[in-house]
């Protein structure tokens, strides 16, 4: 127990807000998917909150924040707990505030949806589907993850090939967050200002509502195509990704050495062949088949959702993004992963050279996507973990070859994808979370700037 906190008073002040305090349950809610990293396992396995609050409304969430402020309780907002960097792990005990009770889809209009932060993404997509719309970008974890967690913790996903990054103009229309003070206040950010909380890991405000762009519902066919070599698969991914006349929501390429780890869909992937997974608009499938034929691909599987469900098969996206790592981990506990950028222009020759250089410890996996309008590939290789030193050597090798790494083996926000402090995030934290209670310990730079006023922190951005 965090002995400096008067837990009896905290619980009394929480009043009717449901709480969980059974140690096993609190321990379970104190974890996310950081365990994909052996380094984070070592660092975070012992971290645990003392209490989990489960507000059922924005008013109850505000009450939790007010109580935390009054009694100086460290707090972590938690959606589905599917983050990979320990973002939802409490480093200093305290209280987890689970948002799943705030799940209302408030408004669906032309090209937009307004939704409470705790709504699960799968449920949101289902509500949109009924109106002929869908989220342009969603993570492969949509059944567990919340929309608030995705905006606070995520960056891209299925759909990024067509719609770019979450941060791209128009994807997040507006965002409302509560401050942590005696009487929490609502702050609404619009357009580019939403970046002040997007991908800030919940360190600078409790997001309660989001207005997001929607896209017309696609008639997506799931495809699997196999290739003789990884170079051919990657080159085909790059060619397909560049064909904006063919509507694709997902293009994933996988090393032949990954396929044997899959215990489902494997029979559609060919023996000892590299694989491309796709989501292609039904009307474009004939053109897709033609293109694959020209590029040396063998189309192994084309199904819509109804056919796939009738065959009791999983969705192809359950083998994409970090689900690839999840599938391998089911079989091989020594597996981990990296996050690397393959910038434009894409060149399969460089990938083949890299594959040779990295040898048997690294298995190739790329997600084709648009970054700042250009076709890129997010490289999420499977890495057989040998030691911290070997992992560092592999990262250094990527960097030396000109492929920037976003280190996923750290829980410090400045050491991961951002690679530097985001002073606009921290200035807002100073305003909305003056006692520094939200997700404490995740920003190293916060300790240095917390005594400055917001304008002085913002000025450090340069
Ligand atoms: C197998 C697998 C595949 C994945 N694929 C993708 C992918 O394709 N793209 C991608 O971007 N990510 C991906 N992720 C990471 C993660 O699933 C997503 O970012 C996801 O959307 C997080 O949602 P969540 O509700 O689980 O968030 P959580 O894990 O609960 O929280 C994530 C972060 O957001 C904060 N947070 C949560 N709710 C709020 C709120 N209301 N206000 C403020 N802060 C809040 C938390 O404190 C935490 O820092 C994947 C993870 C796994 C395990």
Per-residue confidence of the chain (462 residues) as pLDDT tens digits?
566 899 999 999 999 999 999 999 999 999 999 999 999 999 999 999 999 999 999 999 999 999 999 999 999 999 999 999 999 999 999 999 999 999 999 999 999 999 999 999 999 999 999 999 999 999 999 999 999 999 999 999 999 999 999 999 999 999 999 999 999 999 999 999 999 999 999 999 999 999 999 999 999 999 999 999 999 999 999 999 999 999 999 999 999 999 999 988 888 998 899 999 999 999 999 999 999 999 999 999 999 999 999 999 999 999 999 999 999 999 999 999 999 999 999 999 999 999 999 999 999 999 999 999 999 999 999 999 999 999 999 999 999 999 999 999 999 999 987 678 899 999 999 999 999 999 999 999 999 999 999 999 999 987
Question: DSSP of 380-422, one letter per residue?
Answer: --EEE---HHHHHHHHHHHHHTT--B---S---GGGTTS-S--
How do the domains of the chain map onto residue ranges? 7-98, 220-400
Q: How far apart are CA 262 and CA 266, in angstroms?
A: 6
- 82, 35 Cβ separation under 8 angstroms: no
* Residue 88 CB less than 6 A away from ligand 1: yes
**pLDDT value of residue 222:** 97
Which uninterrupted H or E stretch holds 188?
strand 186-190
Query: Is the CATH number of domain 220-400 3.40.462.10?
Result: yes
**pLDDT value of residue 2:** 63
SS3 218: coil
- 181, 69 Cβ separation under 8 angstroms: yes
**What separation in Å is there between the alpha carbon of 161 and the centre of ligand 1?**
20
**pLDDT value of residue 379:** 97
Contacts of 11 (CB under 8 A, 6+ apart): 19, 51
- Ligand 1 atom nearest 102 alpha carbon: 41
**What separation in Å is there between the alpha carbon of 287 and the centre of ligand 1?**
35
Contacts of 398 (CB under 8 A, 6+ apart): 338, 340, 354, 379, 404, 405
Query: Is the CATH number of domain 7-98 3.30.1860.10?
Result: no
**What separation in Å is there between the alpha carbon of 182 and the centre of ligand 1?**
28
Contacts of 213 (CB under 8 A, 6+ apart): 111, 112, 136, 170, 171, 172, 173
- Ligand 1 atom nearest 152 alpha carbon: 34
Question: DSSP of 2-43, one letter per residue?
Answer: -TTS-HHHHHHHHTTS-EE--HHHHHHHT--GGGGSHHHHHH
* Residue 155 CB less than 6 A away from ligand 1: yes
- Quote the radius of gyration of the chain (alpha carbons, Å): 22
- 429, 438 Cβ separation under 8 angstroms: yes
Find the distance separating the first CA and the last CA of the chain, reported in whole Å. 42
* Residue 319 CB less than 6 A away from ligand 1: no
**What separation in Å is there between the alpha carbon of 82 and the centre of ligand 1?**
5
H-state helical runs in 106-163 = 121-129, 147-153, 160-163
Task: Find the helix packing angle between 58-71 and 7-14, rounded to 10°.
Answer: 160
Query: Of how many residues is the chain composed?
Result: 462
- 441, 447 Cβ separation under 8 angstroms: no
For CA atoms 211, 213, 215, 220, give the dihedral sign: negative
Pocket test for ligand 1, best of 98, 149, 151 (most atoms within 8 A of CB): 149
* Residue 443 CB less than 6 A away from ligand 1: no
**pLDDT value of residue 196:** 96
Task: Find the helix packing angle between 230-242 and 285-294, rounded to 10°.
Answer: 140
Q: How far apart are CA 123 and CA 135, in angstroms?
A: 11
- Atom 38 of ligand 1, nearest CA residue: 149
**What separation in Å is there between the alpha carbon of 448 and the centre of ligand 1?**
27
116, 109, 172, 170: which is closest to 148 by C-alpha?
116
SS3 442: coil
113 bridge partner residues: 108, 212
Token pair belonging to 324: 């690839």
* Residue 320 CB less than 6 A away from ligand 1: no
* Residue 94 CB less than 6 A away from ligand 1: no
302 bridge partner residues: 223
- Ligand 1 atom nearest 207 alpha carbon: 42
* Residue 90 CB less than 6 A away from ligand 1: no
- Ligand 1 atom nearest 325 alpha carbon: 1
Q: How far apart are CA 174 and CA 355, in angstroms?
A: 42
């Amino acid at each position: 127990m965090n002995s400096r906190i008067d837990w009896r008073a905290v619980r009394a002040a929480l009043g009717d807000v449901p709480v969980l305090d059974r140690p096993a349950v609190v321990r379970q809610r104190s974890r996310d998917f950081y365990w994909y990293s052996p380094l984070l396992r070592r660092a975070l396995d012992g971290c645990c909150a003392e209490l989990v609050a489960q507000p059922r409304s924005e008013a109850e969430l505000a009450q939790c924040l007010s109580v935390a402020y009054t009694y100086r309780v460290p707090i972590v907002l938690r959606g589905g707990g599917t983050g990979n960097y320990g973002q939802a792990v409490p480093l200093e005990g305290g209280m987890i505030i689970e948002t799943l009770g705030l799940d209302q889809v408030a408004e669906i209009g032309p090209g937009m949806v307004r939704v409470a932060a705790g709504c699960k993404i799968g449920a949101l997509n289902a509500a949109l589907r009924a109106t002929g719309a869908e989220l342009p970008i969603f993570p492969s974890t949509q059944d567990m993850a919340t929309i608030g967690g995705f905006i606070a913790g995520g960056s891209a996903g299925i759909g990024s090939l067509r719609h770019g990054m979450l941060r791209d103009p128009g994807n997040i229309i507006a965002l409302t967050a509560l401050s942590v003070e005696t009487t929490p206040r609502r702050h609404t950010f619009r357009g580019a200002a939403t970046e002040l909380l997007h991908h800030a890991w919940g360190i600078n405000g409790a997001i309660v509502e989001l207005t997001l762009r929607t896209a017309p519902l696609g008639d997506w066919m799931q495809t699997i195509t196999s290739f003789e070599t990884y170079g051919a698969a990657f080159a085909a991914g790059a060619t397909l990704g560049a064909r904006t006349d063919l509507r694709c929501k997902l293009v994933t390429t996988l090393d032949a050495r990954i396929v044997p780890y899959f215990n489902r869909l494997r029979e559609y992937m060919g023996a000892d062949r590299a694989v491309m997974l796709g989501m292609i608009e039904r009307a474009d499938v004939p053109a897709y088949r033609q293109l694959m034929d020209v590029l040396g691909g063998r189309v192994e599987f084309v199904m819509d959702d109804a056919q796939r469900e009738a065959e009791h098969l999983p969705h192809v996206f359950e083998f994409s993004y970090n689900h690839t790592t999840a599938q391998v981990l089911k079989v091989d506990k020594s597996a981990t992963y990296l996050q690397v950028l393959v910038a434009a222009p894409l060149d399969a020759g460089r990938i083949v050279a890299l594959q040779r250089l990295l040898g048997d410890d690294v298995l190739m996996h790329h997600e084709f996507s648009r970054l700042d309008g250009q076709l890129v590939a997010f490289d999420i290789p499977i890495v057989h973990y040998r030691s911290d030193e070997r992992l560092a050597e592999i990262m250094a090798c990527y960097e030396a070859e000109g492929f920037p790494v976003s280190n996923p083996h750290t829980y410090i926000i400045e050491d991961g994808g951002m690679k530097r402090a985001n002073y606009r995030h921290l200035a807002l934290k100073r305003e909305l979370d003056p006692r520094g209670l939200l997700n404490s310990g995740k920003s190293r730079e916060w300790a240095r700037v917390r005594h400055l006023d917001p304008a002085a922190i913002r000025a450090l951005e340069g």
